[in-house]
Amino acid sequence: MSRQTNQEKGQREQPQMLEVFGFQVPTSVYYLHRGHAWALPEGSDQVRVGLDDFSQKILGPADALKLPETGKSYFQDHIFMAQIRQGHKAPFLAPVDGIIEKINPKVIKKPRLIHDDPYGEGWLYLVQANNLQRNKDNLLSGEASAAWINEESHRLLGLMETAIGVTLPDGGAVADDVFGHYPELGWRALVQDFLLPILTRSWRRKEEAEPPMDQEALRREVFRVLQRASADQEFRRTLMDMKTEALAAYKLSTAAQTAILSGDLPWLNEHIGDLTQKQLMFVLSCLVPAAAA
């Protein structure tokens, strides 16, 4: 049984908050990961984990979640959960190493709590951390968190201006539910550029080191992945759990890897072509995993 935490006793320290372009940013107590998860140390080795306000305001409220199981080990910068909305899945990277001790039952019953109260009742899980001091070196806190969200906000505004011609007046705030207001931005672009930055950089470096693939070669490679997923139950489960190492043996573009991990059926149909029934069922299972349905 996990220990009773300070929050459960009603004693958790309240963070200082700063607003940056309408996003709430904790400048004390919390540590932010560059994939927009947060870590809150509670005691010497226990950490509470959640998602930040920036991620929730760009994606909008979740319809369902794919959360890790208790007892499982996860590592910093590896995909550990996903938020699902309107048939789209957004994977997130773990902020710390450790073993999952407890999942917040409130977000299982009401996933939009993550959006409505990201730093409070919308926390995700408790982890028994085993490398916290080293993990902290890769996290942001204090004024550095606010400076980083300011950079992320400018990147988002640049994307909005380029893709859809939307600009903010001086001193303006980004509207809540960016994807809901501007779906033409593309779910995949938001996930790839803001939630999976570490993986995306790694994939792009790999792309740059290799000769560019033509569309037909990419199509064949994606079909290889989907065909294996249809026939190999263990491989299918690995992909549904969003284990990126499962794709290491395949020559895929950054967009293709993101589409497979996030179950982006529109992208696959547009760039790969018609899917078989088994392949379609695999993609649909990625979109709405049975555990989150």
pLDDT tens digits for range 101-127: 999 999 999 999 999 999 999 999 999
Q: How confident is the model at residue 293, as a pLDDT? A: 38
- pTM exceeds 0.85 for this model: no
CA-to-CA distance for 186 and 115, rounded, in angstroms?
19
Q: How confident is the model at residue 10, as a pLDDT? A: 45
Mean pLDDT, the chain, as a whole number?
85
pLDDT tens column, 149-198 = 999 999 999 999 998 888 887 678 999 999 999 999 988 889 888 988 77
CA-to-CA distance for 230 and 273, rounded, in angstroms?
17
CA-to-CA distance for 89 and 224, rounded, in angstroms?
22
The closest alpha carbon to 139, from 53, 41, 39, 29, belongs to 39
pLDDT(53) > 80:
yes
pLDDT(291) > 70:
no
For the chain, what are the domain ranges?
Answer: 1-195, 196-293
Return the CA Rg of the chain. Answer: 19
Q: Which helix (H) or strand (E) holds 101?
A: strand 98-103
In the structure, what pLDDT confidence band is assigned to residue 292 with cuts at 50, 70 and 90? very low
pLDDT tens column, 195-243 = 887 766 665 566 666 667 788 888 889 888 888 888 888 888 888 777 7
- Full strand arrangement of the beta sheet holding 64-66: 64-66, 79-85, 88-93
**Fold of the 1-195 domain:** OB fold (Dihydrolipoamide Acetyltransferase, E2P) (2.40.50)
CA-to-CA distance for 287 and 86, rounded, in angstroms?
9
Q: Which residue has 């700063």 as its token pair?
A: 18
Cβ–Cβ under 8 Å, residues 119 and 145: no
Q: How confident is the model at residue 200, as a pLDDT? A: 62
Q: What is the DSSP string of 38-87?
A: EEEEETTTEEEEEE-HHHHHHH---SEEE-PPTT-EE-TTSEEEEEEETT
The residues near 216 (Cβ < 8 Å, ≥ 6 apart) are none
Average pLDDT (55-84) is 91
The closest alpha carbon to 51, from 105, 8, 115, 3, belongs to 115
Q: How confident is the model at residue 281, as a pLDDT? A: 77
